[in-house]
Amino acid sequence: MELVGTWAQLLLLLLLLLLLLARALPGTRTRGQLPPGPTPLPLLGNLLQLRPGALYSSLLQLSKKYGQVFTVYLGPRRHVVVLVGHEAVREALGGHAEEFSGRGLLATLHGTFDGHGVFFANGGRWRQLRRFTTLALRDLGMGRREGEELIQAEARRLVEALQETQGRPFDPSLLLAQATSNIVCSLVFGLRFPYADEEFQAVVRAAGGTLLGISSPWGQTYEMFSWLLQPLPGTQAQLLSHVGTLAAFAVQQVLRHQASLDISGPARDVVDAFLLKMAQEEKDPDTEFTEKNLLMTVIYLLFAGTVTVSATVRYALLLLLKYPQVHARIQEELARELGPGRTPGLGDRTRLPYTDAVLHEAQRLLALVPMGVPRALTQTTCFRGYTLPQGTEVFPLLGSVLHDPEVFEQPELFNPGRFLDKDGRFKKHEAFLPFSLGKRVCLGEGLARAELFVLFTAILQAFSLDSPCPPAALGLQPAVSGFANIPPAYQLQVQPR
């Protein structure tokens, strides 16, 4: 009995210490007038309402009680305003584009990027890097015929690799990611790699592992409790190993460029363009064109260019296996409009409205980044009657826009007809925002849209798809749902048409 009493006293003392610590921590008190939300607990924030392994679905559930705009606490120090549905997200990111243009915290990668590079930067640094990167990619052909030819050439290499499977079942994940990675490597490094190259395979797998790590239940827990977990040894070891592989590859390529740079010649790729800009501004003590910003920009472009488009194409192919009638209709449209033996191009998009509708519906249904990438207020802002202080983090839930029942009837169903008018022509939806909205819209949107269309149509032009599993046995739910919705693994078989 004495031992029980001692433990009870120790437990009571611990609880008192925790309460005192919580009162001393600054994060639970906020300035301004934030939207209402569930009451946070000391130290735990809204842990009871937000399951770390299902953060997105927990936020959707809270929106049923608190509406389209509400506040949650991720641990004791981090409060976030959540935007749910097309109306709220468009009003904020579109109607207040400048105010909502800051980058919020992605805790799992913050230690690596530390506010550097085109994706994670803020303020003047971000404006300079985004303008530079956009112009550099445009000069290298993005949005022009040269860029389309680059994508078409990689599509032909992908078709050749798929032919080598000779009808055997295989997981398409690696090949698709290598194809999209080669496109970004061509633009950023001036190189493409054979699909059999083991170093290239390791880099592609590291990109996929990074996306999995930040999207996993552990990654979601870290977003809420990074202040507690970050000091612990080994908590990020696997994720940092993947990021380290990407970083080592990027460093290797930058060193190669530095050794061969011609300061009088035109830029061969993004790295060249950045190094030339560094040389121009080397005497400016306030320049943002530094080696750190170069590396962080290159790592992000390599990562995003590898995993985003490939995951979407993989999911679109899975949908065709699940719905053979959709598969047959696409191939009928391709045969009627293009004929055999020609690599499709962007100019064919208007002639292939059903194929285009299927691709849009695949992107909508997958909602690749359902949480949206965190934003931050660049200045104190009045929004819907609330005063949001400068620096307030915002989660614009893009998944809730793409699945908004006010816009898309029965949003959980796969229905390409949403993107067709009564005459069968392609129809746009203003709630189709897979690349976000406003000043932080994905800078590679044009490239991604071109890749999606050319790679997807090239595969369907060359092959009929099959699976060792019957359609009814194929699931469509993401294997992991967190920062990203990662499609489930499946086996694909391709037969030449």
pLDDT truncated to tens, each residue of the chain (497 aa)?
444 444 444 444 455 455 545 444 444 444 458 999 999 998 889 989 998 789 999 999 999 999 999 999 998 889 999 999 999 999 999 999 999 999 999 999 999 999 999 999 999 999 999 999 999 999 999 889 999 999 999 999 999 999 999 999 999 999 999 999 999 999 999 999 999 999 999 999 999 999 999 999 999 999 888 888 887 777 688 999 999 999 999 999 999 999 999 988 799 999 999 999 999 999 999 999 999 999 999 999 999 999 999 999 999 999 999 999 999 999 999 999 998 878 899 999 999 999 999 999 999 999 999 999 999 999 999 999 999 999 999 999 999 999 999 999 999 999 999 999 999 999 999 999 999 999 999 999 999 999 999 999 999 999 999 999 999 999 999 999 999 999 999 999 999 98
pLDDT of residue 8: 46
| Parallel, antiparallel or unpaired: strands 375-376 and 393-397 | antiparallel
Q: Which residues, other chains included, contact 149 with Cβ-Cβ below 8 Å and sequence gap of 6+?
A: 141
CB 248: neighbour CB atoms within 10 A? 14
SS3 for 102? Answer: strand
Of residues 180, 133, 139, the one with CA closest to residue 451: 180
pLDDT of residue 13: 45
Give residue-wise pLDDT tens across range 295-354. Answer: 999 999 999 999 999 999 999 999 999 999 999 999 999 999 998 878 899 999 999 999
CATH code for the structural domain at 27-496: 1.10.630.10
Q: Which residues, other chains included, contact 39 with Cβ-Cβ below 8 Å and sequence gap of 6+?
A: none
SS3 for 493? Answer: strand
CA–CA separation, 257 and 313 (whole Å):
32
pTM (global) more than 0.85: yes
The DSSP annotation for 271-325 comes to HHHHHHHHHHTTT-TT-S--HHHHHHHHHHHHHHHHHHHHHHHHHHHHHHHH-HH
Consecutive H or E run containing 393: strand 393-397
SS3 for 377? Answer: coil
Region of 409 please: left (phi>0), alpha (psi -120 to 50) or beta: beta
pLDDT of residue 2: 44
Contact 253, 192 (CB under 8 A): no
Domain boundaries, the chain: 27-496
Find residue 420's DSSP bridge partners: 426
**R_g over Cα of the chain:** 24
Residue type for position 355: T
Contact 309, 359 (CB under 8 A): no
